[in-house]
Chain A
Amino acid sequence: MTEEPSPPEPLPSSPRGGERVRRHRLSTRLWHWTNLVAITIMLMSGLMIFNAHPRLYWGKFGANPDHAWLEVTDRAGRGELHFADHVFDTTGLIGVATDAHGVVQAQAFPGWITIPSTYSLADARLWHLAFAWVLACGLGAYLLWSLVNGHLRRDLHITRAEWSPRHILADVVDHARLRFPTGAAALRYNVLQKLAYCGVLFGLIPLAILTGLTMSPGFNAVAPFLLDLFGGRQSARSLHFIAALGLVLFVLVHLVMVVLAGPLNEVRSMITGWYRLPRERAANGPEETAHG
């Protein structure tokens, strides 16, 4: 990476609303965009793999004669999602959808959201298993780098005070009112942010990686304890799908928050590292007309 111009390093307590400050480290920015690519490709190729057998089971085995807790089918040209004892008509989105060429396709997830866009389990697996390296090595390198440079301890560690229900509740209320921190406070992650980021870093992505490994018969011979941990290969496959769903929900919330917090400033800070601190709400004297 090129050296960036070095304006005075902001003192922890000094920056005020409107100032440009360094916000994201190089390691965070590199991982964020690498991970964006990896997760996107893993998700889209994963949906194609799901299309090969759109049924999920609990336990050590599970195939068509066995009970599936989730199933996508097409019946008489209608797409159906079976979940527990409920049937949802999902025609047009899941089960049956019209492809880019106007042809009605009966497959679980439509081509516009899969890699490749037309059915190929072999190609989807090729993509999925290749980018699994990017996802896993990326996460490993980032966690190690963040441990060394103090990102985990300084920015992501949830303090005892932050764990207090009162503090969390106050943060929930702030979020509900869309009152985001301003000035120097905006440099710190709030507790809901920390919970979300830690949930992804230490929860969802490791769960996706480990359940993915558990589905490999070759890796089962290497690490059979993973089967016991997740309750069998078909349970691991279900949990893999749930972890992916969790990541999709995280990304949706993440994108909404970015848009609400000022997308250009947020995206710029994740590219260049520089962030313009939101102005304090109770500004000194008459309120300035905001241009940012």
Chain B
Amino acid sequence: MAEPVSRRGLLALGTAGAGAMLLSGCDRLNGSPAFRSLLDGAQDAHRASQRLLGGGTLAPEFTTADLSPNFRANGSRTAADNIEWARHAATGFAQWQLRVDGLVLRPLDLSLERLRSLPQRTQVTRHDCVEGWSAIGQWTGPQLATILKAAGLLPAARYLVFHCADRFGGAAPYYESIDLMDGFHPQTILAHTMNGAPLAVEHGAPVRLRVERQLGYKQAKYVERIEARATLAGLHGGKGGFWEDRADYAWYAGI
């Protein structure tokens, strides 16, 4: 009669031991560069498969009936501690200009007026935070492709970097980057209008990026400069974005 009890006791002990080993083992693996590069490889496979299957397909668009009644503002709610931005904000961004430079034939300085005069795209899309929540909003602005064509990318250009006026949490300046595939995607726009009104300060006035097949941290707010680059190395933390550098979020945020 004692035998099964001790067997079960052994089994329970074994399970508890295995559980403890699993936890500490996972944490150790989590710190191992070799294992992390293996996990990164799986991440690359996700990007490759989405690019292969998706190509230039559009993100789902919704109707104004689907709009979030209250679109949650996240990240920086203002760039007011940037004196230059604050000065422009005080004058309704009348003198503000978006700089387009780097590996381009013709560097551009585009006023808000100029951005509004370009052909516009309006789209109702879903904004997905990496944390899990979603909000639906309507965005209007020129397609990034129009601006890139006007500036004329040099053949060496591989990435588009969006330099922002805000410093999240007072730390390093916010920035993000995308590749040319997303750069020339029809839904990739520089939104100056949200839900029919000028982009509010908390949502990144005067202009934020919308790159609709990726997560929220790619949707850079307070964009003041677009730089075409051959590589992301040597820029800030080198991982291509504020959260990529700071919290190790994936550069490709399609998942």
**CA separation between A117 and B39, bound complex, in Å?**
17
Neighbouring A residues of B144 by C-beta, 8 Å: none
Residues of chain B lying within 8 A (CB to CB) of residue A50: 132
Residue of B nearest to A133 (CB): B42
Known: A64-B72, A221-B59, A237-B132. A126 touches B126 (CB 8 A): no
Within 8 Å by CB of B66, from A61, A217, A221, A222, lies A61
Residue B107 lies at the interface, judged by CB distance under 8 Å to chain A: no
A259 to B4, CA, bound (A): 10
User: Do residues A123 and B135 form an inter-chain contact, with CB atoms below 8 A?
Assistant: no
The stretch of B112-120, B194-202, B222-230, B242-250 in contact with A is: B242-250
Which residues of the partner chain A approach B132 to less than 8 Å between Cβ atoms? 49-50, 52-53, 55, 237
Q: Chain B: how many interface residues by the 8 Å CB criterion? A: 52
Q: Does A60 make an interface contact (CB < 8 A)?
A: yes
B42 — which chain A residues lie within 8 A by C-beta? 129-133
Residue B100 CB within 8 A of the other chain: no
Contact A122 B126, CB 8 Å, known A65-B69, A218-B254, A220-B59: no
A55 touches B248 (CB 8 A): no
State which residues 224-252 of A face B: CB under 8 Å. Answer: 224, 227, 233-234, 237
A112 is an interface residue with CB less than 8 A from chain B: yes
Q: Determine the distance from Cα of A57 to Cα of B72 in the docked complex, in whole angstroms.
A: 15
Q: How far, in angstroms, from A221 to B50 measured CA to CA in the complex?
A: 9
Which residues 122-169 of A sit at the B interface, judged by CB distance below 8 A?
A: 122-123, 125-127, 129-133
* CB of B46 closer than 8 Å to a CB of A: yes
Is B58's beta carbon under 8 Å from chain A?
Answer: yes
**Besides the known contacts A61-B68, A63-B71, 14 further A-B residue pairs in the complex with CB atoms under 8 A apart:** A50-B132, A53-B133, A60-B134, A61-B134, A116-B30, A122-B249, A129-B46, A129-B255, A130-B39, A217-B253, A220-B60, A221-B57, A222-B57, A237-B132
Write the residues of chain A forming the contact surface with B, with a CB cutoff of 8 angstroms: 40-41, 44, 49-50, 52-53, 55, 57, 60-66, 112, 115-117, 120-123, 125-127, 129-133, 215-222, 224, 227, 233-234, 237, 259, 263-264
